Amino acid sequence: MSIVLLAAIAFLAYANGSNDNVKGVATLIGSGRFDARTALRWAAITTALGAMVSVWIGSGLLATFSGGGVIPKGAITLEFSAAVAAAAATTVALATRFGFPVSTTHALVGALVGAGLIASPAGVHWTVVSRLIVLPLLLAPVLAVPTALALERVTRRAGVAGLASSSPPCLCAVPSPVLVTAGGPAADGTVAAGMELSTGTLESCGPGSVVILTPSRVRDAADLFTSGLIGFARGMNDTPKIAALAIVALGSTSIGAVALVASVMALGGLVHGRRVGETMGRRVVPLTPRPALCANAVSAALVLAASFASLPVSTTHVSCGSIVGVGLRSRGVRGEVVKGIAAAWLITAPVAAALAAAVFVVAQWA
């Protein structure tokens, strides 16, 4: 049964990576700043880094999602953990197949409750479920939408949008003649080539100049930093939830469980992350670079704060909320797409619960 459990956990980690890794870099794809392959690689790297850091700061989430926070510890068995992992993985994999960005956290919560009702009918700790799981999940998008909208308005009014003008400011190294008056082989008053820094526009730099810094390069760096921060924070927040199930099979150490989850999660995002990225990056709202950067900044801040506070927020809900928030000003949010995503969110937990209950019953009979 330990091998079956590890296989189910690997399946869950793969499904999680396929659906969730891209959520930090979806704005990069949607705004056209980076191609999908580069964005997915960046997401895999940053998520894996966050996953490894979770070994030291994820103890609160490990305790909650091992099952001990939802049902009595005595009811947790290998069969229970395997049923939870398999059900959550199947739910997320199905959503990924159809391009819906759903919450692995929701799937895990539903699976824990579904299997828990069979394993310990009177022992589900509903207070724990509502206080530590349901409340943060509901608050995440509520906070993300207005925060992203506010940041989009602030950056627009501050003139950040002007950086995208036809003649943006830049920093260049401009060729400049230097008269050599003493020392060296050219100390005869000849003129040597030199360079000096100049600020202005691309047109004013002139031929032969070396462009050192432009707003687009600064924006690219900021996009990569904030999207990487989302991936890092997501790795810290999601890995302990999945690794908690593996600890039952691997013993008391969490390092082996985290390493398994991190590696398979990265692989899943690289292979199957593009479809969900297209939904979030292009179908919810048409994104331009500045609003995309605002959405990333808000998502990164909220998920990172939740990770340090051991709150199991959904990166899906935060990222989608931020994207919707920055799209509200332009009224470009596609309502039918948002409704489809919301419907997928609503059925994630019930589907996972039903699957977990069924798998657990079958596992007990086997």
How many structural domains compose the chain? 2
Q: Identify the pLDDT of residue 52.
A: 85
The token duo for 55 is 């070994």
219 within a domain of the structure (yes/no): no
Q: Identify the pLDDT of residue 201.
A: 65
CB atoms within 10 A of CB 320: 28
218 within a domain of the structure (yes/no): no
Helix, strand, or coil (residue 349): helix
Q: Based on the domain organization, do 335 and 284 belong to the same domain?
A: yes
Q: Based on the domain organization, do 280 and 203 belong to the same domain?
A: no
Q: Based on the domain organization, do 178 and 246 belong to the same domain?
A: no
Residues 6+ apart with CB under 8 A from 270: 17, 21, 40, 41, 44
Q: What is the pLDDT along the chain (366 residues), one digit of tens a residue?
A: 678 888 998 999 999 999 988 888 888 888 777 888 899 999 999 999 988 887 776 566 666 666 556 777 777 788 888 899 999 999 999 999 888 899 888 898 899 899 989 988 777 888 877 776 677 677 778 889 999 999 988 888 776 544 444 455 666 666 665 545 555 554 555 545 556 666 666 666 666 666 656 667 777 888 889 889 888 988 887 888 888 777 765 564 567 778 888 899 999 999 988 889 888 888 888 888 888 889 989 988 888 787 677 676 788 888 899 999 998 877 788 888 889 998 998 899 999 999 999 999 998 886
Q: Based on the domain organization, do 194 and 322 belong to the same domain?
A: no
Q: Based on the domain organization, do 33 and 176 belong to the same domain?
A: no
185: which DSSP letter?
T
Helix, strand, or coil (residue 310): coil
**77 Rama sector, left if φ>0, alpha if ψ -120 to 50, beta otherwise:** beta
Q: Based on the domain organization, do 33 and 56 belong to the same domain?
A: yes
Helix, strand, or coil (residue 172): strand
What's the rounded Cα separation, in Å, for the pair 243 and 119?
A: 21
First-to-last alpha carbon distance for the chain, in angstroms, is 11
Q: Based on the domain organization, do 128 and 261 belong to the same domain?
A: yes
220 within a domain of the structure (yes/no): no
Structural domain harbouring 132: 2-161+228-365
Q: Based on the domain organization, do 248 and 198 belong to the same domain?
A: no
Q: Identify the pLDDT of residue 63.
A: 63
Helix, strand, or coil (residue 98): coil
283: which DSSP letter?
I
Place of tokens 């925060």: 147
251 within a domain of the structure (yes/no): yes
Q: Identify the pLDDT of residue 358.
A: 95
Statement: the pTM of the whole predicted model exceeds 0.85: no
286 within a domain of the structure (yes/no): yes
Q: Based on the domain organization, do 263 and 326 belong to the same domain?
A: yes
Q: Based on the domain organization, do 181 and 258 belong to the same domain?
A: no
What's the rounded Cα separation, in Å, for the pair 160 and 51?
A: 34
The token duo for 68 is 């001990």
Q: Based on the domain organization, do 293 and 257 belong to the same domain?
A: yes
What's the rounded Cα separation, in Å, for the pair 225 and 233?
A: 12
Q: Identify the pLDDT of residue 11.
A: 93
Pairing of strands 210-213, 169-179: antiparallel
**251 Rama sector, left if φ>0, alpha if ψ -120 to 50, beta otherwise:** left
